[in-house]
Structure 1
Amino acid sequence: MNTAENAPRNTKKRGNGEGTIFKSQRRNRWVVACYDYKGIRRTESFKKKIEAEAWLAEQIAMRMRSKGTYVLKPKETVEEFLADWLISRRHQIRPNSYRSYDSAIRNFINPYIGMLQASTLTEGDIEAVLNTLADKGYGHGSIVGVLRTLSKAYNDGMRKKFQLHNPATGVQMLSMKPIVSRAIPARDLDQLYATASESPYDLARLMIGAEIGIRPSEIMGLMWSDISGVELSMSVERQVQRVKGMPLHFAETKTDRLGPIPLTERQMAILVNHHRHQMLNRANWKFDTGVIFPNKVGNLQDETSDKEWIRNLCIRAGVPLYTRYQLRKTAFTNFLKGADIGTTKAFSGHTSTKTLEDHYITPESSAVREAANRAEKALLEDQKARKAQQIKSIDIKFGRENTL
């Protein structure tokens, strides 16, 4: 036995699978022995102990990676992981999505689980956050936003080999229903139009929202050059967006449309009157951006002032406070009265009829009643026809077909 080769070791005894490092007095080198990622025992020697430790750490990492147990940053917190993830996705997601993720992380995730280790986050940790938010009165949308943010971040982390699992996958969503806004009832819509008719701006803004139904950010991005008086049409080419640290600016629309939106002569007349009035009242403008609905100084208008517009209009009309998106739902609900679902889908710019049916079309009770009456009438007529056919069949069977 070579006593020099097995001299007393200065290192702390390692556990099974952690490898061995010792100083060979005969060779005057540090010797490392371990099983590699293929399960083969390997031995290497190094002049310096730090080199031996680095090689051993690399072999263990490779072995763990091959078994799916390796995490690049095992001590990284949820807050650190999400911060790195969000900044890495800044050019792959839309600004609105970025703001939504950022808000969920800052307001609902970091305060509760941001200090936990990202690699060991569990389904139970996430469900505890969801329950806490529900106890504090947060709505369905906020809670779903937390789950979607975590799920997206961990899916990306797994794809890039930063994380080994997605703890959001098995989380059971709370049994709470979302608050779904509906189309504006016809009586209240009439009141809004009556009040809006006092102002060319109000009437044009209401008409675009409640009849054309494009997104509020797209309405803010409409320019007079998008209107064709000859073809009676309107193109939707852009939307107005705000990105953190940047002023309002134009951006691409969320979805592409097949072509211009047709306008009626009445709708065109409303826009022409608004344009005429706008040209006569632009003395206080400092900018001329060419948009149809600018702010008070002619610049791009943000969502805050546009939300204030619909709120003030509802107050003046004496109706409940409706939102801008309820105007959009009203447009598609009313359009469906004169078109099939496929045509309504094309008009709305949506790619899915299910999305349109589930979230945007809310028929009034009178329309539902009329449909129910038609269905009942059809049912009774079918029952009557089947009964008559049964009687005829019985008469034929007994040879009394001509007795009727």
Structure 2
Amino acid sequence: MGKRTNTARWTGKMWRIDVQQDGKRKSFYSSRPGRTGQREANAKADAWLDDGIAARAPKVADAGKLWLHEVEVTTCTTNYRPTESRWRNWILPAIGTLRVNKLTDQDLQEVINNAYTAGRSRKVLKLLAADMRAFCKYCRKAKLSAYIPEDLKIPAGARYKGKTILQPADLVKLFNVDTTTYRGQTVQDEYINAYRFQVLTGLRPGELLGLDWADIHGNTVNVCRSINIIGEETCGKNENAVRSFQLSTLARHVLEEQREATGGVGSVFHILNEQQYYRRWKAYCTANGLTQCSLYELRHTFVSVVKTLPAGEVKDLVGHSEDMDTFGVYSHALTGDAEDTAQAVNGVFLQVLKNA
């Protein structure tokens, strides 16, 4: 069976699409202007290709099990788990009983619309759209369907989930108070330098856990591994996660204190796992009256503080691609060279702490 991997194109007079199946090539046309004509030509091609698909293609629920198994064996656990959850909670209830070769853009759009109506964030809606496109691609590869989603839209009113960041008064406390409460007693917080270093560098929580002293050479930090939420060592969230950056003066001072406390061998911060780290961070916030925020929001705090710096410099520091909207996603309201960037970061933090 052939499968359509392209879409109709306007020739100047009409829409045309060329497809091939079992060595036979055919062209389909539509003279209707606009996207209506494009969809019509594509539908004709799909109908012809569908002739090579089994008369009773599997239901979405059955094909979905096979697709999820492929996701599980070809990606990491931390990607599979949320994908499976979105499938089970949003996609399966809406289209699970439909045949894969009968799906339409409207069927998939309703999944997104239902999640939007339920108040899910723009990020979740985009992930749902990506999941369904990936599922349809799997069905085409498995010769279960020739359907290609072409017109899925994220509702204009969808917004990214609001984030909480540390405010200047919180930062003053963070950099001046070393103690926390443990079993009713005021004690030294063993992770105080981890909190400070994460705020000063914008490291992801997993990158902080995976940082070894061997990764630090003078003023240069090489980020080359991450420990995920279930304790697995990975190469990081994406290809941009592996990176190097220069330490600001404040960050270097924090590391010097950590080296004196731990001896500078093996793991930098000796954190057992992310869950324990988060519990200790929450306890520190409660004990010292800091705004409660997540570990990942310490990264948001960093980007918010340095948002006056050039976007290109900040992308390199936090491991974002060129097309990532770093400030749009990570920056929130506050009440040339690698060394230049490091000192610029240092100056911004000193100014915030001084003004607070």
Q: Tell me the TM-score normalized by structure 1.
A: 0.60
**What is residue 225 of structure 1 aligned with on the other side?**
214
> Secondary structure, in 3 states, of the residue corresponding to 1:68?
helix
Offset at residue 238 of structure 1 (A): 0.3
Could you say if the C-alpha distance between residues 269 and 361 of structure 1 is closer, same or farther in structure 2, counting changes exceeding 3 Å?
same
Could you say if the C-alpha distance between residues 144 and 238 of structure 1 is closer, same or farther in structure 2, counting changes exceeding 3 Å?
same
User: Is 1:149 aligned to 2:149, yes or no?
Assistant: no
User: Is 1:213 aligned to 2:184, yes or no?
Assistant: no
Could you say if the C-alpha distance between residues 260 and 123 of structure 1 is closer, same or farther in structure 2, counting changes exceeding 3 Å?
closer
String of CA shifts for 1:234-277, please: whole Å, max 9, x gaps: 221100135xxxx6221112234685322245433423433443
RMSD: 3.4
Q: 2:193 aligns with which of 178, 189, 204?
A: 204
Q: Judge which range, 90-99 or 113-122, deviates more.
A: 90-99
Whether the aligned pair in 2 keeps the contact of 1:235 and 1:260 (CA below 8 Å) is yes
**What is residue 170 of structure 1 aligned with on the other side?**
151
Give the Cα–Cα distance (whole angstroms) in 1 for the partners of residues 306 and 111 of structure 2: 42
**What is residue 246 of structure 2 aligned with on the other side?**
262
**What is residue 241 of structure 1 aligned with on the other side?**
228
**What is residue 267 of structure 2 aligned with on the other side?**
291
Give the Cα–Cα distance (whole angstroms) in 1 for the partners of residues 260 and 143 of structure 2: 60
**What is residue 68 of structure 1 aligned with on the other side?**
49
User: Is 1:179 aligned to 2:161, yes or no?
Assistant: yes
**What is residue 234 of structure 2 aligned with on the other side?**
251
Whether the aligned pair in 1 keeps the contact of 2:198 and 2:299 (CA below 8 Å) is yes
Whether the aligned pair in 1 keeps the contact of 2:223 and 2:244 (CA below 8 Å) is yes
Q: Tell me the TM-score normalized by structure 2.
A: 0.67
String of CA shifts for 1:75-133, please: whole Å, max 9, x gaps: 31212212212322445545433333222112222233323222212333334333444
Give the Cα–Cα distance (whole angstroms) in 2 for the partners of residues 197 and 218 of structure 1: 24
Code of the aligned partner of 2:329? H
Could you say if the C-alpha distance between residues 195 and 122 of structure 1 is closer, same or farther in structure 2, counting changes exceeding 3 Å?
farther
Could you say if the C-alpha distance between residues 344 and 95 of structure 1 is closer, same or farther in structure 2, counting changes exceeding 3 Å?
same
Where do residues 319-398 of structure 1 align in structure 2 (5 Å cutoff)? 319-337=290-308, 339-352=309-322, 354-362=324-332, 364=334
Q: How many residues align?
A: 284
Whether the aligned pair in 2 keeps the contact of 1:329 and 1:361 (CA below 8 Å) is yes
Offset at residue 290 of structure 1 (A): 3.0
Give the Cα–Cα distance (whole angstroms) in 2 for the partners of residues 160 and 320 of structure 1: 50
Give the Cα–Cα distance (whole angstroms) in 1 for the partners of residues 93 and 178 of structure 2: 44
Give the Cα–Cα distance (whole angstroms) in 2 for the partners of residues 196 and 127 of structure 1: 51
Question: Which consecutive residues of structure 1, in runs of 5 or more, have no partner in the other structure?
Answer: 1-35, 39-63, 280-288, 366-404
**What is residue 312 of structure 1 aligned with on the other side?**
283
Give the Cα–Cα distance (whole angstroms) in 1 for the partners of residues 88 and 243 of structure 2: 40
Offset at residue 363 of structure 1 (A): 5.2
**What is residue 79 of structure 2 aligned with on the other side?**
97
Whether the aligned pair in 2 keeps the contact of 1:200 and 1:273 (CA below 8 Å) is no
Could you say if the C-alpha distance between residues 67 and 135 of structure 1 is closer, same or farther in structure 2, counting changes exceeding 3 Å?
closer
Where do residues 19-30 of structure 1 align in structure 2 (5 Å cutoff)? none
> Secondary structure, in 3 states, of the residue corresponding to 1:267?
helix
Whether the aligned pair in 1 keeps the contact of 2:60 and 2:98 (CA below 8 Å) is yes
**What is residue 190 of structure 1 aligned with on the other side?**
172
Where do residues 28-107 of structure 1 align in structure 2 (5 Å cutoff)? 67-69=48-50, 70-72=52-54, 74-90=56-72, 92-107=74-89
Whether the aligned pair in 2 keeps the contact of 1:218 and 1:238 (CA below 8 Å) is yes
> Which protein, 1 or 2, shows the higher relative CO under an 8 Å CA cutoff with sep ≥ 6?
2
Q: Judge which range, 198-207 or 213-222, deviates more.
A: 198-207
Could you say if the C-alpha distance between residues 340 and 161 of structure 1 is closer, same or farther in structure 2, counting changes exceeding 3 Å?
same
Whether the aligned pair in 1 keeps the contact of 2:303 and 2:327 (CA below 8 Å) is no
